[in-house]
Every structure is written in structure tokens, then in C-alpha cells.
Amino acid sequence: MGSKEEEFQKRLLSTFKIEAGDHLKTISAGLLEIERMESPEGHLETVETIFRASHNMKGAARAVNMRDIEAICQSLEDVFDMWKQEGINRSSEVFDLLYHSLDVIRMLLSPLDGKEITIDGNKVSNLIERLSGIKTMRIYDTISFTRGESLLNKETILMSDADVVRIPLARISSLLLQAEELLSVKLLSSQHSADIREVADMFEIFKNELKKVCSKDESFNRVEGHIKSMERRLLTIKKSVQQYSRSLNRMVDNLLDDTKMVMMSPVSTVLEGFPLLVRNISNEQGKAVDLIIQGGGIEADRRILEGIKDPLIHIVRNCIDHGIERPEDRISLKKAEKGTIKIIVSQLDNRKLEILITDDGMGIDINMVRASAVSAGIISQEEADSLSEYEAMSLIFHSGVSTTPVITDISGRGLGLAIVREKIEKLNGSIILESHLHRGASFRIILPLTIATFRGVTVCVSGHIFVIPLINIEQVIRVKRDDLKTVENKETITLDNRPLSFVRLSGVLELTNIKRKTEDQDFIPVLILNGLDKRIAFGVDEIMKEDEFFVKGLGRQLLRVKNIEGAALLGSGKPVPVLNVTDLIRSVLKGSYATPELMAPEEKGVKPGKGSILVVEDSITSRILLKNILESAGYSVKTAVDGIDAITTLKTGDFDLIVSDIEMPRMDGFDLTAKIRGDERLDELPVVLVTALEKREDRERGIEEGANAYIVKSSFDQGNLLEVIRRLI
């Protein structure tokens, strides 16, 4: 993080602490006032005040990523909302717990002043549970916290079962990484064993040649004894090294297998919350959906599962929002009233995991995909018309392509599937989409079962050695030079009676082509690589061998290197680059190598043009955060504290777009949007509502009032906000 970013973060946290302190004072004063009141008159206004204070503090805490404070504020907000609806519980235990909650928030704010106070996260969870229990008066003992002592840092906790030990996941991950690094030692040992065999063979040749030359010389008799002694010693060392190498290899393999098993978890661990997710979203959408999960017991590396969770959530949300129809629409289409989403997990072999997500909804309209791609400037209308249905469907994974006209927090920004593909590719996986209009869509995801260690093939290109992951290698062949054909200035080979684009890996990597012995031969070593749902033949100078490797990142300084995924160590100890096959294929598709059939339109990252934006937000923390995000993107930004202030500001200047909160004093975001749509001068001005209100009726009201986009703060992402603004301005 740069010095400017650090300085901004400090200022933002400082601002939040001041704002939170004001809200805490408001809530404390309100609780005291309510507790002292003997008559219920005036309660409602005071409850509304403390409800709004807890709501605003929750939003500000989310903006600075203080999740514990956000969660406690949400619970307080729920209590105060219940009071508004059902009346106040005046029990002294209830007020004691509420005051204690405010004390906990103050303690959570203390580190911002440099005070060393730690709070066990489990205790915060218990506090939230107690607050939830107010509805049924489940009030427990007061929670105690200690200064200077973290209750989370118990490294090993014995459970009731004496055979089970609970160990922090971070420690297990560290042990696994250390075990995986032993793979380099194993490779080095194998290399030393091969070297000693080679030396023994060379010595045998030397001894035989020496006998031929010097056998009649008397001096040979004097050294022959020494030669035999050296030979015996060399054979002993050779045998010892080979035995040591076999033992070490076996121990490393067993250790790796055992530690990998510790990191393996059932896929069901990331799917546990999906039934509730589907229920909540389908209810919000007014749809009836069944979720069927199969194969959840199959295990994969926990790191793979953590990486795939968000993409799976987004795909399932898309299936509900875009795919499954409303019950009345399904009945008119002679479908079952309730839609079905299936998540089917299977293991393809000992290295690959397949996750298939299907729905029986309306499918994806290929014509809308083409139109959206043309509208986003990704391809021209002529190019769109010439694409096959399969190629056109792949456009859905490009940023800016969406088939829905309404932007919500769930969909419509044209970013989701592009990000899904990007995250899957980072896991060395791939995703394929198939769709049939009015019958449904399916997403097929292929992932490796584990990461870090992998099987790979070493190749030599222009004097350099590279490693290519075996998971991306479909086939290894030799091709006659005479069999290379040229189609429209592109080289191709014929495989299974079909033309396949051929490129030289040295050209893609921009290496100087060094003439080697293989250049004089009649055959070219070729690897058929797959990625991005494409197959391309890559010619190399030499295919060396297959082995197991441990891949390491290139460090912060080289966080993203084109065509390179990381580095691995050869048995000799020499580090070599591990190629990123997805990047290689993308380089070919965007370069001058691929045939027209393989050419894919280049994604165009359009930088937002400069414009003037009015931010309307009553929370000073959220206001500063939004202002900084937008100004960093090149926009000119002015701010207003509520709807009335915004109307006044709009009269004094011209703006290209408004970003507004909803819940604000004097005039809220709904009324502000309606006011703008009722003004002839402003009725075309885009309005983006960024709010904590998640209910379906709130979203619908926002769209009805004329908002162009509705983004919920709980799923807020600044990249999504900037993309929405880019599309609207």
C-alpha cells in the first residue's frame, strides 16, 4: 500500500471513530431517556432516533471494514426495529445488555487510539446471540473481556473426544507449505542419484579405455589396485545414495499425502449455506425454486474450495435472477410451478474436479448477448452476425455484457460472469456455458483437486526450460514439418481430420528462435493445450520429461507477469518458470497466430471518462469513502448530506450522475429520485442508489421511483460501482 493510500486510510478511520463516538452518545442518551420515562408518550420518536443512529454507525463500520462493530450494530438495529413495531421491553436486564453492547463497541474502537485491547471473536458472537435473545428474553450472563490478552490465541484446544485435536487452520496451512517445499529436496535427491550413476558409468568407461591403452605398461599394475579400490568405493556410494534417495522419496510422498489429506474438505462445506441463499433470493424475487445438491461428499483442497465459493454463489444468484421464471410464467410455459437448480459435483480423475450447475429456466437469449456485446463496443454488428452460436455464447464472459436492462445488486452490471471466469482461471480451472432457450442453462467448471504441487511437463524453447501443468495438456504428438499447412497466413496442423491452429511457443513468449539440432529433423514436438474452451497446438524444441513440481509465486514485485504463473525448482536446484496456459492461449487469440475460427474479440477495458458526480450521503465516513473512490477514478465530485441539500446543490451546478443513499434525514433517497424525475431539466440525470436496504420491496420502489441502478452496501464493491457509472454516463 502506498503512502498516500495509508494516509487516506488513517484519515478515514479517524473520521469513523469521531462519527461512531457521536452515534454512541446519541444511543446512550436515548436509552437513558427511554428507561427513565414513566409514560410511553414520546417513546416512538426517541426509538426512531436511536434506530437511525445504529443504522448509520453500521453503514460507516462497513465502509472501514470493521465487521464486528457492523454486526453488533445490526443486532441493535433489529432490537430497536422490534421496539418500533411491538413496543419496548423495559426489563432492566435488557437495558443492561444494551449498555454493555455499547461498551463493547467502544472497546473495539480503542485500537484506533493505539490501545492494546483484544476481544475474542467468539465472545462477540455470543453477544450478538444474546441481543437476538431479547425477543424471547433469553438473557445470559454478562460477557467479560480482558485487556492485553487475546482469547483467540489458544493454539491447540482439546475437544471432548480425546482422539481429536483442534488446531488453527493457519498453522495447518503453514505445515502443508513446508511439506510441499520438501518436494524440491526430493527432486534434488533424485538428481544426485542420477548424477552418481552417470559418474559410475563414466568411471567404468574410463577404466576399460585405460586397460586398452596401458595394460602392457608395468606402471599400470601399480595403479590397478587403486583403480579397483576407487571402483568399490564408488559402487558403495552409488548404492547408498540410491537407497537414501528411495527412502527420502517415500517419506516425502507419504508426508505430502498425509498433509494434503488434512487440507482436504468435502465440497459440501462451501455448499452448506446455499439452500438458505436460494430460499432468500427466490423469496425476494417472488419465485419458487428447489435446490438439489449431489456429490457434496467429494473432497478437494480447502484452498480450492475457498476460491470457488464466490463464483458459485454468483452463478446460483444468476440462475435465480436471470434463469428461473416466476410461477405464473412457468405455468404458462407448461413447466412445473417450482423451478429447479442442480449442483452436481464429480471427480473426473485423480487430479480434476467437475462442478456442474444447471437450471430449468428460460435459458440465455443468444441474440440479446450479441446485442449487448455490440452495445458495449466489444465487437461490431458485422462481427456479431458472423459468430457461431457457440462463439456468441462465450461473449457472456466479457466485461460489460449483460442480458438484463435493470441494474440491481444481484445482476445487470455485466461484470459478474467476467469476474467468475477470472477467479476460476486463477485456480487453474475453466468454465464452459451451454444454454437452450426456454429449457435452461448449465455451467461446467473444471478445477484441479489440489494446488501448489502439480504434475507438469518440462519443455525446452529457444534454449530456455519451462514447465507446463499437465492438467492443461490434452495430447503430446510429433508433427512432420511437411504436414504444416497455411490457411490465410496462419499455420495449422490436422488432428483427428480437423484443422487445428499451430503456433511456436517461442513466438508467443517473444524469445529469439535459436536453431537447434531438432530444427534439422523432420518432426516437430507439439503439445495440444486447452484453455478458455479452446485447443491450440504449440510447437517446442524439445519435450523433456514429466514430473511433480512445487510452484511458488514470484513475489510482490512480480505479482502479475504475462504468460507466467510462478516458478518451480528442477532436480538440479535450478528455478524455471511455470507457464500460465490460459494466458498463453489468450495471447494467441489476441495476437497474430490464431486462425479466424479461434479469434475471440479482445476485451476492451474502457477507462471511465471524466464527469461530474454528486454524492448524497448523511454518514460522513461513507461520504468521504465514496468521494475518494470516485475522485481516484478521475471524476469531479461534490457532496450533499441529504436530499434537501442535494436539490439545492443541483440548482447551482451541472452534474452527469448522482450517487445517493436512501435513509437520510429531511428527504430520503426515494423522494430525491422522484423529485429529480419530476423536474424537466433533470429527468434524464442518472441516479444510482447505494443503500443498506436489502428487501425486495425497497428494490422495486427504487426502480419505480426512477433509479437507474440499485446497489446494496452489504455486497458493495468499488469496481462494480465504477463499472455501473461508466455504463450510465
What pLDDT digit, counting tens, does each position of 264-289 carry?
A: 788 888 887 787 678 778 877 888 88
CA atoms within 13 A on the CB side of 386: 11
In this prediction, residues 383-396 reach a mean pLDDT of 78
* Mean local confidence (pLDDT), 248-266: 74
Q: Give the cell for residue 465.
A: 526450460
Comparing 595 with 166, which gets the higher pLDDT?
166
| In the chain, % of residues over pLDDT 90 | 8
Identity of the residue numbered 461: V
Distance CA(705)–CA(678), nearest Å, equals 10
Pick the CATH number of 267-364+403-448 from 3.40.50.970, 3.30.565.10, 3.30.70.2740, 3.30.160.60: 3.30.565.10
Cα dist from 202 to 73, 207, 221, 707, whole Å: 77, 9, 21, 81
Please report the pLDDT score of residue 248 as a whole number. Answer: 79
Average pLDDT for the chain: 77
Cα–Cα distance, 393 to 385 (Å, whole number): 12
**Angle at which helices 620-632 and 718-728 pack, to 10 degrees?**
60
Residue 222 binned pLDDT confidence (cut-offs 50, 70, 90) = low
Helix (H, G, I), strand (E, B) or coil at 593: coil
Contact (Cβ atoms closer than 8 angstroms) between residue 12 and residue 64: yes
Q: What is the mean pLDDT of residues 81-106?
A: 81
DSSP helix/strand/coil, 301: strand
The angle formed by the CA atoms of residues 91, 96 and 99, to the nearest 5 degrees, is 130
- Give yes or no for a contact between 479 and 526, defined as CB atoms under 8 angstroms apart: yes
> Given the DSSP bridges, would you call strands 473-480 and 523-531 parallel, antiparallel or unpaired?
antiparallel
CATH of domain 169-265: 1.10.287
Cα dihedral 56, 278, 315, 391 in deg (nearest 10): -130
> What three-state secondary structure class fits 490?
strand
- Evaluate if residue 556 carries a pLDDT over 70: no
pLDDT band at 614 (very low <50, low <70, confident <90, very high): very high
Quick one: average pLDDT of 317-328? 88
Stretch 515-531: mean pLDDT, rounded? 72
Lowest-pLDDT range of 221-225, 410-414, 528-532: 410-414
Residue 554 or residue 83, greater confidence: 83
Mean pLDDT of 8-30: 82
Instruction: Determine the Cα–Cα distance for residues 304 and 427; give it in Å rounded to an integer.
Output: 7
Confidence of residue 599 (pLDDT cuts 50, 70, 90): very low
pLDDT for residue 153 is more than 50: no
| Extents of the domains making up the chain | 3-153, 169-265, 267-364+403-448, 463-590, 612-728
pLDDT beyond 90 at 213: no
Q: Which CATH architecture has domain 3-153?
A: Up-down Bundle (1.20)
More confident residue, 94 or 179: 94
% of the chain beyond a pLDDT of 70: 77
- Residue 292's beta-bridge partner residues? 342
Q: Looking at residues 296-307, what average pLDDT do you find?
A: 85
Residues 683 and 175: their CA atoms lie apart, in Å, by: 61
Question: What does the alpha-carbon distance between residue 381 and residue 373 come to, in Å, rounded to a whole number?
Answer: 9
pLDDT in tens, 366-375: 888 888 888 8
Could you tell me the pLDDT band of residue 141, with boundaries at 50, 70 and 90? very low
Q: Region 52-65: what's the mean pLDDT?
A: 86
CB atoms within 10 A of CB 601: 19
Q: What is the pLDDT of residue 443?
A: 92
What percent helix, strand, coil does the chain show, rounded to 5? 50, 20, 30
- Give the pLDDT band of residue 36 (cuts 50, 70, 90): low
Closest CA to 646 of 608, 586, 687, 592: 687
Of the two residues 174 and 161, the one the predictor is more confident about is 174
pLDDT of residue 359: 93
Class of domain 612-728: alpha beta
Q: Is-contact 139 94, C-beta < 8 A?
A: yes
Rounded distance between C-alpha atoms, residue 548 and residue 165, angstroms: 31
Closest CA to 447 of 355, 524, 350: 355
Does residue 596 register a pLDDT over 70? Answer: no
CA 484 – CA 524 distance, rounded (Å)? 10
pLDDT at position 129: 84
How far apart CA 29 and CA 414 sit, in angstroms, is 46
Q: C-alpha distances in angstroms, 647 versus 38, 235, 435, 677?
A: 41, 92, 46, 12
Say which residue the cell 483442534 belongs to: 166
Instruction: List the single range of 41-55, 391-405, 461-475, 621-635 with lowest mean pLDDT.
Output: 391-405
Segment 317-344 mean pLDDT? 90
What per-residue confidence (pLDDT) applies to 591? 64
- The predicted model gives 208-214 an average pLDDT of 72
Q: What is the pLDDT of residue 217?
A: 63
pLDDT at 52: 87
Task: Give yes or no for a contact between 190 and 247, defined as CB atoms under 8 angstroms apart.
Answer: no
Residue with cell 434537501: 644
Q: Is CATH 1.20.140.10 the right assignment for the domain spanning 463-590? A: no
Greatest C-alpha distance within the chain: 125
Q: Kindly state the cell numbers that stand for 162.
A: 480425546
Least confident of 56-65, 447-456, 649-658, 691-700: 447-456
Report which secondary-structure segment, H or E, holds 356: strand 352-359
Local structure of residue 16 (DSSP, 8 states): H
Which three cell numbers, joined as nine digits, stand for 53? 443512529
* φ and ψ at residue 499, rounded to 5 degrees: -70, 140
Worst-scoring range by mean pLDDT, 174-183, 190-199, 306-315, 708-717?
A: 174-183
What pTM does this model have? 0.47
Which of 133 and 363 is assigned the larger pLDDT?
A: 363
At residue 158, the pLDDT reads: 29
**Among 119, 174, 105, 127, which residue's Cα sits nearest to residue 152?**
119
Whether 1 shows a pLDDT value over 60: the answer reads: no
pLDDT winner (highest mean) among 223-227, 233-237, 355-359: 355-359
Residue 257 Cα distances to 67, 155, 608, angstroms? 37, 24, 49
Distance in angstroms (rounded) separating the CA atoms of residues 81 and 494: 70
Q: End-to-end alpha-carbon separation of the chain, Å? A: 30
Q: At a CB cut-off of 8 Å and minimum separation 6, what does 382 contact?
A: none
pLDDT at 660 over 90: yes
Quick check: 518 pLDDT over 50?
no
672 confidence band (pLDDT: 50, 70, 90): very high
For every residue of 415-472, DSSP letters joined together read -HHHHHHHHHHHTT-EEEEEEETTTEEEEEEEEES--SEEEEEEEEETTEEEEEEGGG
Residue at grid coordinates 513475489: 555
> Between β-strands 498-504 and 534-539, what pairing exists: parallel, antiparallel or unpaired?
parallel
**Over 80: is that where the pLDDT of 706 sits?**
yes
Q: List pLDDT tens digits, range 409-436.
A: 445 444 567 788 888 887 878 888 888 8
* Other residues' Cβ atoms within 10 Å of the Cβ of residue 303: 16
Q: To 10 degrees, the CA torsion angle through 701, 702, 703, 708?
A: 180
Q: Which residue has the higher pLDDT, 225 or 305?
A: 305
- Give the integer Cα–Cα distance in Å for 592 and 597: 13
Residue 390 is predicted with a pLDDT of 72
Q: Does residue 151 surpass a pLDDT of 60? A: no
